[in-house]
Amino acid sequence: MKKFLDILTKLDRRWLFLFLTIVILIPIIHPSNMEMKSISSPVQGAYDFIEGLPENSFVILSLDFDPGTRPELYPQALALCKHLMKKNLRVALTTFNPGAPGIMTEFKDEILKAFPDKVYGKDIVMFPYRAVFLATVTQLATDVYAQYPDDAEGKPLKSMPIMKGIKNYKDMGLAIEISGTTLFTSWIYYVGDKYHLPVLGGTTAITQLSYSPYVQTGQLKGLLGGMRGAAEYEAMLHDKHGLATGDATKSLNVLNWPHMLVFLIAVLSNLAIFFGRFMPHKED
């Protein structure tokens, strides 16, 4: 017993790093989807609101993140947009982040690849990047085309079937904000509260708690937080619409196994210290 306790307390940390590396690599090489046992109410709220939108509703999806927060936020946007496509809703992509236009183009291409029956200009469109948020969203309240006469590719918006019947917020059904910055609250205040366009969205895990009160007050119709929120949404799309789970579910599994290893090491280490300090041991 004494030798076993000594091994635990004196184990070279490099062995721990090796164990951690192996545990991380296993789910990457052999992915396995852990069943999502529960869905948080903010994620469920986002799903239910989109599910209740009438077919052909117009939705603004603002991708306000850059490569730094992409690992957490891109899967959220992808899951939400797949739901929009599955519900036959019209989606306008936009961004106010200077690092996002390239991501937005890649995102559009991935959606069209996942839904071959969807057509650019009819089911999805990209608004061009705008640097000044407040001036832009205020203008959209009266005339979309005054701010966006052309799409991100320079084509006239009014000529596109997706824009039929769309002039301002009154003709839209929802705004979705995906961001880890204070732009999230700006969408709530200046679009949701001021012009009464419903808002929901996704943010990083570290900022999720900051926006939870807005869900409770109804200012946010739903909220996805971090990789977990995206994985929960993927699970609902899989169960209710038959869509395959995506990167969020796979990435969450890569995080789960190392967390369990760290927990196990912590428990064993504390037990070893406890018994080594307070329990008498006979020398072998």
| CB 61, CB 202: distance < 8 Å | no
pTM of structure:
0.83
d(CA 79, CA 82): 5
Mean pLDDT of 130-152: 96
d(CA 69, CA 65): 6
- Compute how many other C-beta atoms are within 10 angstroms of the C-beta atom of residue 253: 17
Per-residue pLDDT of 158-180, as tens digits, reads: 999 999 999 999 999 999 999 99
| 41-247 topology per CATH | Rossmann fold (3.40.50)
CA 73/CA 67 separation, integer angstroms: 10
- The more confidently predicted of residues 22 and 46 is 46
Coil/strand/helix, residue 120: strand
* β strands within the chain, DSSP E: 58-64, 90-94, 124-126, 174-179, 199-203, 223-225
Least confident residue range of 96-100, 155-159, 279-283? 279-283
Share of the chain above pLDDT 70, in %: 87
pLDDT category, 245, cuts 50, 70, 90?
confident
* Residues near 211 by beta carbon (within 8 Å), at least 6 away in sequence: 184, 185, 203, 220, 223
The region of weakest confidence among 29-38, 178-187, 229-238 is 29-38
Predicted pLDDT of residue 270:
76
- The pLDDT assigned to 39 comes to 92
For residue 8, pLDDT over 70 is answered with no
Got the DSSP string for 216-231? Answer: HHTSSS-EEEHHHHHH
Phi, psi of 200 (to 5 degrees): -145, 175
Output the pLDDT for position 192. Answer: 96
Ordered by start, the domain boundaries in the chain are 41-247
Compute the mean pLDDT over every residue in the chain, rounded to the nearest whole number: 89
- The whole-number average pLDDT for the span 215-241 is 94
d(Cα 200, Cα 220) in Å, to the nearest integer? 5
In tens, the pLDDT along 26-53 reads 766 766 666 667 899 999 999 999 999 9
89 vs 276, more confident: 89
Secondary structure (3-state) at 91 = strand
